[in-house]
Homo-oligomer: A and B are copies of this chain.
Amino acid sequence: MEEACVRKSEMDKVGVSVKFGRNETIYSKGDEARYSYKVIEGAVRLSRIFADGRRQIVNFFLPDETFGIELSEEYTSTAEAVGDVLALRCPRLCIAQLTEGHPDIGQKRLAMLSKSLAAAEQHVAMLGHQSAKERVASFFLALEMQRRTEIERTLDLPLSRQDIADYLGLTIETTCRALSELKRQRIIEAPSRRRIVIRDLAGLQAIAEGGA
């Protein structure tokens, strides 16, 4: 634990802060994978765009999470700033060098990849068999698990409805309807565009698990 902090700060040392504006592209699919990043502030979305213009968001990254660690030479997805983003950028090579001296940094990368994989498998499970309402419920539940807001049961999402829809594999309209349905059932409240209050956590869980 203690040592991990030492290592972390070493990693932080080699990185430089970079800023990105709302919707700015951090890197594109196919670019040479020169850097990996750690979110300091804001949110980043990892997505793929298809021939038909539709977009699938593969993952979101919130403060303290790392993204852009690729094993291949090129980035396999596109990363964009959801809102304004502050991030730490580390050259790939530096990481490789650090890894040699301190094999435990390899453990960190492993842990990070492992976490991404678990998230991706969860995502697959969701897209594979859940209804629109269940997806929205699962999504909020997952956010609640790693809530960043101090206020109990309040989610401050920097995401637009379109972002949510693209993550859930739904249209914006369907997402909206599912949201409205949850509001009608008094399971959530939406006091403002980007704020969700969970009024009935158990109810939300029941829905996420196919209880309605």
Cβ A125 vs Cβ B48 within 8 A: yes
How far, in angstroms, from A117 to B48 measured CA to CA in the complex?
14
Question: Given the complex of chains A and B, what is the CA–CA distance between A107 and B103 in angstroms?
Answer: 10
Copies in the complex: 2
Within 8 A of B (CB), among A97-134: 99-100, 103, 106-107, 109-111, 113-118, 120-121, 123-125, 127-129
Check A56 for interface membership: any CB of B closer than 8 A.
yes
Answer whether residue A3 sits at the interface, using C-beta atoms and an 8 A cutoff: no
Q: Which residues of B contact A70 (CB under 8 A)?
A: 114
Interface pair A210/B50, CB less than 8 Å apart = yes
Excluding A50-B129, A71-B110, A113-B113, 20 further A-B contacts by CB distance (< 8 Å) are A50-B209, A51-B209, A52-B210, A54-B129, A56-B128, A56-B129, A58-B124, A71-B115, A99-B103, A103-B103, A106-B106, A106-B110, A110-B113, A116-B117, A117-B117, A117-B120, A120-B121, A127-B128, A127-B169, A128-B166
